[in-house]
Amino acid sequence: MVRAYTRKEYIRKIPGSRIVQYDMGNLSGEFPLTVSLALKKQAHLSHNSLEASRIASNRYMQRRAGRMGYHLKIRVYPHHIVRENPMATGAGADRVQDGMRKAYGKPVSSVAIVKADQRVLTIRTNKKNFKDAKEALRRAAMKFPVPCKIVIDEGAELVK
């Protein structure tokens, strides 16, 4: 795994994160059931894919359980800043560029470095909305570049 490039005070132009909010739904409600989305392999999740998964799962849960029937939380933050060494193309590009000599790159994006079996999204809800929470997490998993699994953290005895 690559060491995180995070010292923002040394980096000039940092691209902003697309993630709008990390907690959605009923933040103060008491829910007996907690279902999470965990990654099967370690990965770098971009801020774009995290926001896309948030939108997909939040929209589904809002339609099915209502605004007060769930609490959705994103549990990772995109700290690591990704650099890219853009290669020039076209006529005369070979005279402009040095290729891989001093190829440090410019900041283009940010990613969250996530380990295997780490929870990325968590939904707290009631027993009647359990299937909807699983479907919402399945839709969120489609936005990630690695295989995911759905884990019941609390209240497994309620859904047996």
Q: How many CB atoms lie within 10 A of CB 57?
A: 26
Across residues 39-48, what is the average pLDDT?
96
What residues contact residue 64 under an 8 Å CB cut-off, 6+ apart?
129, 132, 135, 136
pLDDT band at residue 75 using 50, 70 and 90 as cut-offs: very high
Fold held by 23-87+102-154: Aldehyde Oxidoreductase; domain 3 (3.90.1170)
Catalogue the E-assigned strands of 101-142.
106-114, 119-125
Kind plus residue range of the DSSP H or E element containing 80: strand 80-84
Tokens of 69: 């029937």
pLDDT band at residue 1 using 50, 70 and 90 as cut-offs: low
Q: What is the per-residue pLDDT for 142?
A: 97
Across residues 86-97, what is the average pLDDT?
76
What residues contact residue 105 under an 8 Å CB cut-off, 6+ apart?
83, 84, 85
Q: What is the per-residue pLDDT for 10?
A: 82
For the question of whether the overall pTM of this predicted structure is more than 0.95, the answer is no
Across residues 5-16, what is the average pLDDT?
83
